[in-house]
Each structure stands twice: as structure tokens, then as C-alpha cells.
């Protein structure tokens, strides 16, 4: 019997794409030609939302109103995608049997960190925390919300890590605590939805009073949703970054002869 | 001129696919995926654009001002989060691939050949 | 008034997963198992209640209470009809089976597996129940996010990493394709709710934008369903994923891609595509036939048992795509029964493969030659599975296949029956062949090629525990699943109920009434089909052919001398070319994806404009 033939060569692969790529581009362009001209907008969904969202929910940032109220179920799925992916990263970057976490001093200082970087981080951290909190709780008023604010909040510890204090950050905010924060945020959002079920008889119905537009406590449960998502996003990104930094800085193959 | 954003979206989509096909480094493969995703962002936001309209924040403008579509922006926001997280999973796999195979070139991954 | 519990089957696993992860440092394995098991059982009960309710009257549940006004929606709906609810319940049942089966797996990851499994379950359920197009894509991505990491779980081996990367890249691209389709449809109709989009599209004929949107959405879901030529990722992923995950992938996840195509056609595109039904039918059936035949061919070539089962799944997915492609209610009914039958059988077969892997640390057919004698129960189950896979009458897969055969003749596609018989026979034969070789020691021990052998051996323990003894649960669970595969079609009224559900699924105009306007629909009664003698004849043929082909696979090497060289050499060359295309290189797979998408789009534009 003949042995298996030569594997697909790079040239064959590129040739296939050279034929298929323009074909796909043509199909896409033909489909896109049917779109209305750029800027010529008639979509019912958007028109209705911009018309009623302010009066319905007293929220002035309509993107957040759609994200955390009108299409909150999508956001629930989205935040759990984030949750699942971070669980996945933790699973995939776990310490294997032949590896060890080594805390020897020379390893964990990030290359290039200096006093200047440390001082800059020190100045930036309170600013980032303040900005993050502002973005999270003002989600229903101005552009922002849980996702954006959560990232900025996660950037604060990240700045300290980059300033060379990775191990200290890990000691101060151990992984189990950060994971718990993330999980509380995720559960919190789903539970707020249950609040809608319990108090307003439909899941994810906005059951808190809408308040006055432009005030901090307005738009029903949107600020609470924002906070839940903010916690979750902050926790999730810190867990992910920690997993990657562990791989780069701490985890080493166990040397033969050692325990 | 009014077709340009859509043409850019189509271009990004195909160029990103090319990047994935021709890549010799798996990190580049992963980043080319984000290029393909950018095509969908451009398309979604272009579909939602309205000439002469303001951003969908009504904090200090009269309520009858025409506004850009907030729903498309929400879709893009959702997609950005999804993309970031899937990229994280893929990069974790690339790290492990580097440890297992000693290489990040897709051609060096042997075991699953039929 | 929709039941208050409607959202709970999706919410319960979400909350349970978050709680499990939050308490991860404190919990033990048995706590995780109990919490997860209790959640899944709760989901099954909830879905059973919803299923019963949806049979009386389908449920349109609007999140946040945002009911539509004048047929315009601003919220997200769960549009629950009996087929969707039934599919979700079936998914949850498989998850429970996996949970019981995998008590010995995943010992060293405290809580991560359970969390990911719960999120995967939430995605399966949400995907089956949702009525919103973008929400469908979100649940598709959630399914993927949980699946990619679990596929690459065995990080200490090389193959799982590669399989997971191929899986993740290909399915992500599928998601992007879907998003382009969503954008196109939104620009045309201004809606994201599937029923509202369908209503808006009904007013006009199909123009290139609608055709391209349909093509891109279908290509995306066909990638998930592993149709040819976007199927390459599936064999890689199934071969390397831990067995419990393979059970779920093969049992329900891949089939949901076919479900999505059916749902999208009947809710959104049935209106504009109505004048072009014949052409669309031809296109989809062609995809299904190529997939079924290629899957069968590759299946028989494998010696890696999990990869063999993966390709047999591809073959059966081809049959399912034909069923949807016939664009009739009988086709959908046949597919629904077939999904249940095939899902149960494939799940049981993968569990048997897991038993072998656990016991012998290898899943290669020739390495395992004769060794299965020490675990005969698994052999009996595998043999039964192989016969059932060949559509042994009168059991569930046979019932589904008969409905499909009837649908094919009604649509004038009588020759499809030959394809169905071939797919059943070849895949059943492959399973019977490996069963005989492993458990009875039949056939030669020297292998034709050594190249595949290395891939079949596992270095890391996929499971804990001593290999001298197979835990009884690992045998009981697949036995129960096979018993269900025998029983389901025999329950009086089960198949007619599925046929009635399929008739409602395919009633395009009714969706507007019960989803957008919340009014009751008068469903006409459906005359149940009867099994004809011809159906029994076809399936008996496939079973006999399977046994015969298995025998040839085992003992047929001397027969090769009688095959004329003029046939043998080109045939072998063609087979080798096809096998070489399955190279494991992600660039190849994406190049084929681009080719498939462009050809499918081009054919749709030419045939349907």
C-alpha cells in the first residue's frame, strides 16, 4: 500500500485562497451593494429606541439603556462569555505536574521597571480608580458603564504589576479573592434579573423607580447592573492577566534533581 | 463615497482571512482573527450611522435631535467583549503549544495529520 | 400569559456556575457534583414543564416585559415551541448523563470543569429557546467559549492543543460570518427579532442582499454543523477532547447547527425564498449528500476510534442537512427523531471509547486488538450501537430515517434513499469492525499504516483511578442511553407528537401570530406517518450491508488481489488525496472555509436571484 502522500504544501494553500478570496470578496460586495447608502438610515429598531428610551427609563445614555435594560439578556450572555473564557484561561494555564511556581527574587521583577515607572504608577493608580468608579456608576447618564469602567478599574492593579510589584499585588489581592469578586459580579447581574422576576413578574424587568433623568440614582436598576458588570469585568481581566503573567514570570519547568 | 465603509469592511474581512491562511506564527494567526472581527465592527457601525446625527447621549441636547443608532453600538460593544475573551483563550492555547511543540509555526504541529 | 419560569432554565445554570466558582477554594468534588447535578435536574424539570405548556400553546416570553407594539419589538424574546423546548430538554438530559459518567474525570481542576459545563448547558438551552437573531449568535459564542477550553483540557499532550486551536479559530470565523448576515438583515428590516425580520422580508422578493445574508448565516451554522468543506475542525476536536465533552459535542452541539439553519429558514427566509424553493432545496441537499458521503468514506478509513466516531458524526450530519434541505415538515420531523436517536447512540459509543481509553491508555484500533475481552460489557454496547447506527428496525434511528425517506420521496428525491442507506451502512460497518477487532480479536494484527498509531495513544491520564477495573457507572450510563435509543420511538404517540411539533415549526405565517401578537393559533391536525414495508426493507439492507462491510474490513485483505488494478490505483490515490487534505494545519482549514463560503454564496446568488 502506498505511504501517505506529501502533506499539503504552503503553495497549494495560498493558491486555493488566491482563488477563493476574491470570490468571497465578490459575494460580500454584491450583498453589500443592496445596503442603503452610508448615512441613509431607516431602521425601525433604532428609531423607536431613540424615541422612547428617555421617557421610558429616564436614562440619558441610550447605549447603556439598550445594553442594560432593553437588551439586557444579551448582556447577560455576553458577561458569561467573559466568565467562561476566563475560566478557560485558568484551566489552560494551570500549573502542570512537571512545573513549579518559583518566587526567586531575580525572576519576578519585570524587565525594565525603574523608579520612574513606579512613581508614575503611584500617581496614576488613584486617578484610574476614581475614573473607573465614575465610569461605572455614571453609565446611564454619560458614555460609559460597567464594561468600560471595569477595564479601567482593572488597569489600576495592572499598573502596579507593571511597575514591578507583581508578587506583592498577588499577595494583596490573592487569586481566590479576585475570582470571587468576578463571580459575585456575574451572579449579581443574573440575580438582579431575578429581582425583576420577583418584583415585576418578568425576568430582567426594570423594577426600580426610574427617578429623574440626569441624576445618579435614576433609570431603575441600570446603575446596579453597571456595578455588577464592573465588578465582573475587573475581576475577569485581573484573573486573566495574572494567569498570563504567572506563565511569563513565575512558572518554570521543574529541574531534574529538585523535588 | 457612500459605499466606502462597506467596501472597507469587505476588504478587512478577506484580508484577515488571508492573514490566517498565510500566517507562519500562531500569534499572528490570532491577531488576524481580530482583523476579521474589525470588519464586522465597521459594517455594524456603518449600518447604524445616520447623516447629520449626534451620538446617542441625550444629556444636554434637545430630545428631538436625530441620533445615531444605539442598538448597533451595543452589538459592537458585545462583540468586542466576546472577541477579547476568545483571543485570551486562543493566546493561552498558543502559550501551551509553544511549550509542547517548541514552536509556534502551524506547520510544525504534527499529531493531527490523518 | 407566559409561565413565570420561562427564563429560569437559562438563569439557573448561570447563577450556579457563578456560585461554584466563587466558592471554589472551599468546595470539595462531591459538593461540585451535587450542585451541578441538582442544577441540571432542575433545568430538566423546568424544560419538561415548558415543553408541556408549549404543546398546548407556544410561549413567547419577552425579557423585561417589553412586548411588541404594532409588530415592532424592542426587547429580546424566548420563542418556545415544542421542538425547541424538546431539543433543550434533550441537551440537558445528555449533560446529566455526562455528569454521572465523568465522576472519575477532571480530578485536578476543582470546580472549573463544573463551571464550564454549566455555562455550556446554559448556552445549549438558550440557543434552542431564543427568538432573537443576535441573541442566537451570543449563545453560539458562549457555547464556543466553554467548548474551546474544555477541548484543550489535556494540556500535557500535544494533540489537544492543536485540536482546540483549530476548533476555536474555525468557529470564530463562523461567528464573524453570522454577524455580517445579521448586519445585512438589520439594515434591510430594522429588526433583530427573527419573527419581525421574517415579517419584513415577506413583503419583498429575495434580492442579492437577502440571498447573501442567508448564505453567510447558513455558512456560519454549517461550520458549526461540520458540513463539507468546513468540517475539518470537527475530527480534530473530537479526537482530542476529553471523552465527556465529546459526548456532548457529538450528541447535541453539532446538531444545533442544523437546528439553527432550520429555524432561520422557516422563520426568516421562507417568505422570500418561496418561489425559489426547488433551487434552494437542490443546493442544501447537495451539501448534505457530499457531507454524508465524504464523512462515511473518511470514517471507514480511521483506526483512531474517536476520530472514526467523529467522521461518522459528519456522515450523519450530512443526512440531517439533507433532511432540513428538503424544506418540508416531514423532513423536519425526520430530523428531530433522527437527532434524538443519533445523539443517544453516538453518546453511548463515545462513552464506550472512553472506557477503552481509561482502561488501556490507547484508542487505536490495532493497539487494542483483542484486548477488549476483559471488559465484555463495553463490547456488547458497542456492537449494539453499531447495529443501531446502521438503522436497525424498529428503533429510534430507524424511525427517523423512515420519515426522512418519506420526505425524500414526497419531494421527488427518491435517490436520496440510496445516500441514506450508504451512510448508515458504512458508519455502522466501521463501528462493527472495530468492535470485532477489539473485543473478539478478529482480523489481522498488522496495521496498514503506522502513522496514525501515535496519535491514538494518550500520555497523560485522562482519568484518575486504577486501570485494572472499570467503574460500573461508566458502563451503566451508556447502557441507559442505548436503552433510550431503543425505546423512544416505540413509546406510543412519541413519533406522532414530534411530527405535530414539526408541522408547527414549519408554519411560517403562524410565527407572527404567536410571537408578535401573542394570540393563540389554531393548528390543523397532522396525520401521522406509518412505517412502510419499503422502509423496513431499506434499513434491513443497510444493516446487512454494514455487517458485510465490517466483515470485508476485517477479513477482506486477500480479496484485494481480485480488484482490477485499473480501479484500485485511482481509488487509492483519490482516498489518499482526500485524507491528506485533513492536514491539521489551521491555514488549510481556513482556506477551505473561504472556498466553501465563496462557492456557496456564488451558487446561491446564481440560483436564487
Q: Tell me the per-residue pLDDT of C252-282, one tens digit each, with 9 for 90 and over.
A: 999 999 999 999 999 999 999 999 999 999 9
Q: Is C139 on the interface with A (CB under 8 A)?
A: yes
Q: Do C22 and A47 lie within an 8 Å CB cutoff?
A: no
Q: Do C594 and B78 lie within an 8 Å CB cutoff?
A: no
pLDDT (0 to 100) of residue C457: 65
Neighbours of A191 (CB within 10 A): 17
What percentage of chain C reaches a pLDDT higher than 70? Answer: 96
Neighbours of C371 (CB within 10 A): 15
Select from A34, A83, A176 the Cβ nearest to the Cβ of C208. Answer: A34
Q: Do B20 and C590 lie within an 8 Å CB cutoff?
A: yes
Q: Which residue of A has its CA nearest to C180?
A: A28
Which residue out of B53, B59, B112 would a mutagenesis test of the A interface target, given it has the greatest number of A Cβ atoms within 10 Å?
B59
- Lowest mean pLDDT, pick from A185-199, C404-418, C438-452: C438-452
Task: Name the minimum distance, in Å, from the CA of C591 to any CA of chain A.
Answer: 5
Tell the residue number behind the cell numbers 472514526, with chain if given: C308
pLDDT at C137 over 90: yes
Q: Which residues on B lie below 8 Å from C363 (Cβ)? A: none
Q: Is B34 on the interface with C (CB under 8 A)?
A: no
Q: Which residues on B lie below 8 Å from C586 (Cβ)? A: 20, 29, 106
The stretches of B1-114 forming alpha helices (DSSP H) are 4-22, 26-48, 70-101
Q: Is B17 on the interface with C (CB under 8 A)?
A: yes
Q: Which residues on C lie below 8 Å from A74 (Cβ)? A: 76, 132, 134-135, 138
Q: Do B3 and A43 lie within an 8 Å CB cutoff?
A: no
pLDDT in tens, C54-67: 998 999 999 988 88
Q: Which residues on B lie below 8 Å from A241 (Cβ)? A: none
Which residue out of C1, C25, C36, C65 would a mutagenesis test of the A interface target, given it has the greatest number of A Cβ atoms within 10 Å?
C65
Mean pLDDT, to the nearest integer, of C507-516?
92
Mean residue pLDDT across chain C: 91
pLDDT (0 to 100) of residue C452: 57
Residues 308-337 of C with CB under 8 A from A: none
Q: Which residues on A lie below 8 Å from B18 (Cβ)? A: 17, 21
More confident residue, A168 or A237: A237
Q: Which residues on C lie below 8 Å from B20 (Cβ)? A: 169, 173, 586-587, 590
Distance from chain centroid for Cα C468: 33
* Interface size between A and C, measured as CB pairs under 8 A: 258
Q: Which residues on A lie below 8 Å from C7 (Cβ)? A: 193, 197, 203-204
Q: Say if residues A46 and C187 touch (Cβ distance below 8 Å).
A: no
More confident residue, C546 or C445: C546
Q: Give the DSSP letter string of A66-135.
A: IIIIITHHHHHHHHHHHHHHHHHHHHHTPPPTTEEE---HHHHSPTT--HHHHHHHHHHHHHHHHHHHHH
pTM passes above 0.80: yes
Q: Do C159 and B72 lie within an 8 Å CB cutoff?
A: no
pLDDT in tens, C591-606: 999 999 999 999 999 9
Select from C76, C108, C591 the Cβ nearest to the Cβ of A17. Answer: C591
Select from B20, B106, B112 the Cβ nearest to the Cβ of C455. Answer: B112
pLDDT (0 to 100) of residue C559: 78
Select from C25, C72, C109 the Cβ nearest to the Cβ of A176. Answer: C25
- Lowest mean pLDDT, pick from A92-101, B23-32, C212-221, C531-540: A92-101
In the DSSP assignment, the letter for residue C457 is B
pLDDT (0 to 100) of residue C368: 85
Q: Do A75 and B78 lie within an 8 Å CB cutoff?
A: yes
Task: Name the minimum distance, in Å, from the CA of C576 to any CA of chain A.
Answer: 6
pLDDT (0 to 100) of residue B114: 57
Q: Say if residues C568 and C556 touch (Cβ distance below 8 Å).
A: no
Give which of C348, C384, C341, C380 is closest to C490, Cα–Cα: C341
Cα separation values, C70 from A44, A90, C204, Å = 12, 48, 20
Q: Which residues contact C71 (CB under 8 A, 6 or more apart)?
A: C196, C199, C512, C516, C517
Task: Name the minimum distance, in Å, from the CA of C298 to any CA of chain A.
Answer: 14
pLDDT at A226 over 60: yes
Quote the radius of gyration of chain A (alpha carbons, Å): 25
pLDDT in tens, C155-213: 888 889 999 999 999 999 999 999 999 999 999 999 999 999 999 999 888 899 999 99
Task: Name the minimum distance, in Å, from the CA of C140 to any CA of chain A.
Answer: 10
pLDDT at B8 over 90: yes
Q: Is A90 on the interface with C (CB under 8 A)?
A: yes
Cα separation, C600 vs C213, in Å, equals 12
Q: Say if residues C185 and C231 touch (Cβ distance below 8 Å).
A: no
Q: Is B104 on the interface with C (CB under 8 A)?
A: no
Residues 162-201 of C with CB under 8 A from B: 162-166, 168-169, 172-173, 175-176, 179-180, 182-183, 186-187, 192
Mean pLDDT, to the nearest integer, of C518-522?
86
Cα separation, A95 vs A91, in Å, equals 9
Tell the residue number behind the cell numbers 488576524, with chain if given: B32
Task: Name the minimum distance, in Å, from the CA of C119 to any CA of chain A.
Answer: 7
Distance from chain centroid for Cα C504: 22
pLDDT in tens, C435-478: 999 998 888 887 666 555 556 666 555 555 557 788 888 899 99
Task: Name the minimum distance, in Å, from the CA of B96 to any CA of chain C.
Answer: 7
Q: Which residues of A90-106 are buried (b: 16+ CB within 10 A; e: fewer)?
A: bbbbbebeeebeeeeee
Give which of B105, C152, B98 is closest to A251, Cα–Cα: B98
Q: Packing angle between helix C8-22 and helix A175-200, nearest 10 degrees?
A: 150
- Identify the band that residue C1 occupies on the pLDDT scale cut at 50, 70 and 90: low
Give which of B12, C468, C266, C47 is closest to A29, Cα–Cα: B12
Q: Which residues on B lie below 8 Å from A84 (Cβ)? A: 85
Q: Is B2 on the interface with C (CB under 8 A)?
A: no
Q: Say if residues A237 and A150 touch (Cβ distance below 8 Å).
A: yes
Amino acid at each position: 500500500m502506498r505511504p501517505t502522500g506529501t502533506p499539503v504544501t504552503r503553495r497549494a494553500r495560498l493558491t486555493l485562497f488566491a482563488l477563493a478570496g476574491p470570490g468571497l470578496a465578490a459575494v460580500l460586495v454584491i450583498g453589500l451593494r443592496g445596503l442603503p447608502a452610508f448615512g441613509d438610515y431607516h431602521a425601525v429598531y433604532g428609531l423607536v429606541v431613540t424615541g422612547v428610551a428617555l421617557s421610558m427609563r429616564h436614562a440619558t445614555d441610550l447605549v447603556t439603556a439598550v445594553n442594560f435594560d432593553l437588551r439586557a439578556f444579551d448582556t447577560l450572555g455576553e458577561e458569561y462569555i467573559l466568565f467562561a473564557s476566563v475560566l478557560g484561561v485558568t484551566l489552560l494555564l494551570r500549573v502542570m505536574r512537571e512545573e513549579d511556581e518559583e518566587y526567586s527574587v531575580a525572576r519576578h521583577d519585570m524587565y525594565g521597571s525603574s523608579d520612574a515607572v513606579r512613581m508614575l504608577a503611584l500617581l496614576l493608580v488613584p486617578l484610574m480608580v476614581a475614573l473607573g468608579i465614575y465610569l461605572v456608576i455614571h453609565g446611564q447618564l454619560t458614555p460609559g458603564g460597567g464594561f468600560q469602567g471595569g477595564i479601567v478599574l482593572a488597569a489600576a492593579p495592572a499598573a502596579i504589576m507593571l511597575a514591578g510589584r507583581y508578587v506583592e499585588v498577588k499577595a494583596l489581592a490573592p487569586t481566590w479573592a479576585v475570582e470571587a469578586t468576578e463571580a459575585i459580579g456575574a451572579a449579581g447581574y443574573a440575580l438582579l434579573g431575578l429581582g425583576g422576576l420577583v418584583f415585576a413578574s418578568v425576568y430582567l424587568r426594570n423594577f426600580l423607580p426610574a427617578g429623574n433623568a440626569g441624576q445618579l440614582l435614576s433609570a431603575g436598576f441600570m446603575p446596579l447592573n453597571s456595578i455588577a458588570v464592573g465588578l465582573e469585568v475587573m475581576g475577569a481581566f485581573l484573573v486573566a492577566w495574572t494567569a498570563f503573567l504567572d506563565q511569563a514570570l513565575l512558572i518554570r519547568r521543574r529541574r531534574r534533581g529538585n523535588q | 463615497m457612500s459605499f466606502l465603509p462597506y467596501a472597507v469592511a469587505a476588504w478587512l474581512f478577506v484580508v484577515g482571512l488571508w492573514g490566517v491562511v498565510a500566517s507562519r506564527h500562531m500569534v499572528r494567526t490570532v491577531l488576524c482573527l481580530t482583523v476579521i472581527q474589525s470588519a464586522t465592527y465597521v459594517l455594524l457601525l456603518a449600518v447604524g450611522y445616520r447623516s447629520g446625527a449626534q451620538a446617542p447621549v441625550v444629556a444636554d441636547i434637545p430630545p428631538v435631535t436625530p441620533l445615531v443608532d444605539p442598538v448597533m453600538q451595543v452589538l459592537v460593544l458585545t462583540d468586542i467583549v466576546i472577541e477579547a475573551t476568545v483571543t485570551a483563550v486562543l493566546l493561552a492555547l498558543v502559550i501551551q503549544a509553544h511549550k509542547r511543540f517548541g514552536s509556534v509555526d502551524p506547520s510544525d504541529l504534527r499529531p493531527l495529520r490523518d | 400569559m407566559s409561565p413565570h419560569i420561562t427564563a429560569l432554565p437559562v438563569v439557573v445554570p448561570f447563577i450556579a456556575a457563578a456560585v461554584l466558582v466563587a466558592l471554589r477554594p472551599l468546595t470539595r468534588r462531591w459538593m461540585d457534583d451535587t450542585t451541578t447535578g441538582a442544577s441540571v435536574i432542575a433545568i430538566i424539570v423546568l424544560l419538561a414543564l415548558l415543553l408541556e405548556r408549549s404543546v398546548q400553546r407556544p410561549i413567547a416570553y419577552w425579557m423585561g416585559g417589553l412586548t411588541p407594539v404594532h409588530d415592532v419589538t424592542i426587547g429580546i424574546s424566548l420563542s418556545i415551541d415544542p421542538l425547541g423546548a424538546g431539543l433543550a430538554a434533550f441537551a440537558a438530559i445528555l449533560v446529566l448523563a455526562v455528569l454521572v459518567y465523568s465522576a472519575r474525570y477532571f480530578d485536578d481542576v476543582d470546580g472549573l470543569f463544573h463551571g464550564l459545563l454549566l455555562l455550556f448547558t446554559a448556552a445549549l438551552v438558550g440557543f434552542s429557546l431564543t427568538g432573537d437573531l443576535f441573541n442566537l449568535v451570543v449563545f453560539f459564542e458562549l457555547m464556543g467559549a466553554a467548548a474551546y477550553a474544555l477541548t484543550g483540557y489535556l494540556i500535557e499532550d500535544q494533540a489537544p492543543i492543536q485540536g482546540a486551536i483549530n476548533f476555536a479559530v474555525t468557529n470564530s470565523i463562523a461567528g464573524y460570518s453570522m454577524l455580517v448576515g445579521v448586519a445585512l438583515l438589520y439594515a434591510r428590516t430594522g429588526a433583530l427579532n427573527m419573527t419581525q425580520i421574517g415579517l419584513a422580508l415577506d413583503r419583498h422578493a429575495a434580492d442579492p442582499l437577502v440571498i447573501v445574508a442567508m448564505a453567510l448565516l447558513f455558512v456560519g451554522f454549517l461550520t458549526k454543523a461540520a458540513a463539507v468543506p468546513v468540517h475539518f475542525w470537527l475530527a480534530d476536536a473530537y479526537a482530542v477532547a476529553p471523552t465527556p465533552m465529546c459526548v456532548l459535542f457529538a450528541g447535541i452541539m453539532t446538531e444545533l447547527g442544523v437546528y439553527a439553519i432550520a429555524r432561520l429558514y422557516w422563520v426568516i427566509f421562507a417568505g422570500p425564498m418561496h418561489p425559489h424553493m426547488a433551487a434552494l432545496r437542490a443546493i442544501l441537499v447537495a451539501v448534505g449528500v457530499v457531507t454524508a458521503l465524504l464523512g462515511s468514506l473518511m470514517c471507514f478509513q480511521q483506526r483512531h476510534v474517536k476520530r472514526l466516531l467523529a467522521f461518522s458524526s459528519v456522515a450523519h450530519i450530512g443526512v440531517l442537512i439533507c433532511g432540513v434541505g428538503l424544506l418540508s415538515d416531514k423532513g423536519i420531523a425526520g430530523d428531530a427523531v433522527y437527532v434524538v436517536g443519533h445523539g443517544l447512540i453516538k453518546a453511548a459509543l463515545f462513552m464506550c471509547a472512553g472506557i477503552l481509553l481509561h482502561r488501556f491508555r490507547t484508542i487505536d484500533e490495532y493497539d487494542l486488538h483483542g484486548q477488549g475481552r476483559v471488559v465484555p460489557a463495553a463490547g456488547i454496547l458497542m456492537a449494539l450501537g453499531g447495529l443501531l447506527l446502521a438503522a436497525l428496525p424498529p428503533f429510534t434511528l430507524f424511525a427517523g430515517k423512515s420519515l426522512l425517506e418519506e420526505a425524500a420521496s414526497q419531494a421527488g428525491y427518491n435517490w436520496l434513499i440510496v445516500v441514506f442507506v450508504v451512510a448508515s451502512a458504512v458508519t455502522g460497518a466501521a463501528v462493527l469492525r472495530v468492535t470485532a477487532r477489539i473485543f473478539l480479536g478478529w482480523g489481522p494484527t498488522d496495521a496498514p499504516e503506522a502513522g496514525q498509531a501515535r496519535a491514538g495513544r494518550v500520555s497523560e491520564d485522562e482519568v484518575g483511578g486504577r486501570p485494572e477495573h472499570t467503574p460500573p457507572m461508566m458502563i451503566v450510563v451508556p447502557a441507559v442511553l442505548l436503552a433510550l435509543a431503543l425505546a423512544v420511538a416505540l413509546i406510543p404517540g412519541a413519533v406522532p407528537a414530534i411530527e405535530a411539533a414539526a408541522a408547527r415549526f414549519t408554519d411560517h405565517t403562524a410565527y407572527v401570530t404567536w410571537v408578535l401578537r401573542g394570540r393563540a393559533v389554531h393548528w390543523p391536525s397532522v396525520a401521522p406517518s406509518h412505517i412502510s414495508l419499503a422502509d423496513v426493507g431499506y434499513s434491513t439492507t443497510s444493516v446487512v450491508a454494514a455487517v458485510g462491510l465490517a466483515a470485508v474490513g476485517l477479513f477482506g485483505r486477500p480479496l484485494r488481489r481480485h480488484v482490477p488494478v485499473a480501479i484500485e490505483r485511482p481509488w487509492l490515490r483519490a482516498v489518499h488525496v482526500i485524507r491528506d487534505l485533513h492536514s491539521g494545519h489551521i491555514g488549510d482549514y481556513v482556506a477551505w472555509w473561504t472556498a466553501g463560503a465563496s462557492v456557496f454564496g456564488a451558487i446561491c446568488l446564481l440560483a436564487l436571484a
